[in-house]
């Protein structure tokens, strides 16, 4: 057994990241300023998007996208129940109603073939989630959205490196929202980004994220003139300290992706034949971001629950995650909308069996070997 607990989701923080943050602190400009602008430009170039706006979180990115799309009271937004709470919470924040569509049992992604059946006269948008780093069926989703005149807002919190049939995630939907939270493939500690193809949307997101002011602080102190309050906005801006942490992470994003792919493949090989499986690889021409390595435990064959497996791994000093317990099983959504456990059977099925293992470029080969040994012992390998 490991002597030291292996933390799930640990970020890969290197000396160059620390030096960049220290440089920002020494500059005395630590709010939204030149490093945020540089981070936005370099992220936009990496994705190939027309516009990129840095914000304080992916949650903020999604909420602002909904607001700019004009979604509010009485509207419905179609999304998946197998996601983090933020995806549906932001729909509630703007006064709309999340309409869940069940997932594919093998990929965990929203089942695009079920989306059309969920559309009503109140439907205004579709919010697909690129779960684990696997891109959704965007051709089908965009076709449905175009035919019904719906906005597509992509939750790409797991999908910085993802590609769908030769097109980078971040260049397909109307808005795409990325996360730079602590455990993401690029981290700014807390932070997010919105990409969009329309200049007017980008400009309004920027205004709304800065209290609704016509001019952000950095421009106010580097040029003449005053700001005007043009909307009742929000405090959703990213700081230069956060952006500084992300700049070098972005530079090595492909290097980090290759390391996670290597670990992913080692896990696949080591766990072959055990009472578990992981969602399949993506099709040719697409790219998996390898954000999460998620085991689906064959609880019937194993004779143990997912929670029993997780507890045994914890006793062996291996940290894990659960991605996710379907939102329709949580008290708020059950109580507010009257969901029943069997309303989304595939999402529930995955919820009861899913377990994510450590997957980070910060892991050493010994760390990976410890995870493999522990999992094989617990699962009877």
Q: How far apart are the first and last CA of the chain?
A: 16
What distance in Å separates the CA atoms of residue 357 and residue 351, rounded to the nearest whole number? Answer: 15
Q: What does each C-alpha distance from 87 to 6, 90, 129, 166, 314 come to in angstroms?
A: 28, 6, 8, 26, 29
Decide if 304 is catalytic: no
Count other Cβ atoms within 10 Å, centred on residue 124.
Answer: 19
Three-state secondary-structure class, residue 244: helix
All residues at 6 or more sequence positions from 54 whose CB lies less than 8 Å from its CB, including other chains:
36, 39, 40, 43, 191, 192, 193, 237, 238, 243
76, containing H or E segment: strand 76-79
Catalytic residue among 4, 38, 50, 184: 184
Residue ranges in the chain assigned as alpha helix (H): 15-27, 34-47, 58-68, 85-93, 112-115, 138-148, 199-209, 217-222, 240-251, 253-271, 299-302, 306-315, 331-337, 345-351, 365-378
What distance in Å separates the CA atoms of residue 202 and residue 180, rounded to the nearest whole number? Answer: 19
Three-state secondary-structure class, residue 58: helix
68-74 long-range contacts, Cβ below 8 Å, gap at least 24?
Answer: 68/175, 68/201, 68/204, 68/205, 68/208, 69/124, 69/125, 69/151, 69/153, 69/174, 69/175, 69/201, 70/124, 71/96, 71/124, 71/125, 71/151, 72/96, 74/122
Count other Cβ atoms within 10 Å, centred on residue 126.
Answer: 28
Three-state secondary-structure class, residue 273: coil
Question: Which structure tokens are listed for 84?
Answer: 């983090």
Lookup result for tokens 């700081």: 239
**CB contact at 8 A, 320 and 8:** yes
Question: Which residues are catalytic, by number?
Answer: 184
């Amino acid at each position: 057994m490991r002597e030291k607990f292996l933390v799930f989701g640990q970020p890969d923080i290197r000396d160059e990241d620390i030096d960049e943050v220290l440089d920002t602190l020494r500059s005395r400009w630590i709010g939204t300023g030149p490093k945020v602008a540089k981070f936005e430009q370099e992220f936009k170039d990496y994705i190939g998007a027309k516009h990129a706006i840095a914000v304080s979180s992916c949650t903020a990115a999604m909420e602002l996208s909904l607001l700019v799309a004009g979604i509010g009271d009485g509207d419905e937004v179609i999304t998946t129940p197998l996601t983090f709470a933020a995806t549906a919470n932001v729909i509630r924040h703007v006064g709309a109603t999340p309409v869940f569509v069940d997932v594919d049992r093998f990929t965990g992604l929203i089942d695009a073939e079920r989306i059309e059946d969920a559309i009503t006269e109140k439907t205004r948008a579709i919010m697909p989630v690129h779960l684990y780093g696997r891109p959704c069926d965007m051709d089908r989703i965009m076709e449905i959205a175009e035919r019904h005149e719906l906005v597509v807002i992509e939750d790409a919190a797991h999908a910085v490196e993802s590609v769908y049939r030769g097109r980078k995630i971040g260049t397909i939907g109307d808005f795409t929202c990325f996360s730079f939270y602590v455990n993401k493939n690029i981290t700014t500690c807390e932070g997010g980004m919105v990409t969009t193809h329309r200049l007017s949307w980008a400009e309004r997101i920027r205004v709304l994220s800065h209290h609704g002011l016509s001019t952000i602080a950095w421009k106010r102190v580097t040029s003449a003139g005053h700001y005007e309050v043009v909307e009742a906005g929000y405090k959703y801006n990213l700081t230069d300290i956060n952006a500084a942490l992300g700049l070098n992470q972005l530079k090595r994003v492909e290097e980090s992706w290759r390391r996670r792919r290597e670990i992913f493949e080692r896990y696949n090989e080591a766990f072959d034949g055990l009472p578990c499986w992981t969602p399949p690889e993506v099709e040719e021409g697409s790219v998996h971001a390898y954000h999460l390595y998620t085991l689906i435990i064959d609880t019937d064959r194993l004779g143990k629950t997912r929670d029993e497996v997780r507890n045994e791994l914890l006793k062996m000093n291996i940290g894990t995650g659960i991605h996710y317990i379907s939102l329709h099983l949580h008290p708020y959504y059950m109580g507010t909308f009257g969901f029943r456990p069997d309303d989304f059977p595939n999402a529930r099925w995955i919820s009861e069996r899913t377990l994510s293992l450590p997957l980070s470029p910060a892991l050493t080969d010994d760390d990976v070997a410890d995870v493999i040994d522990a999992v094989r012992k617990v699962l009877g390998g």
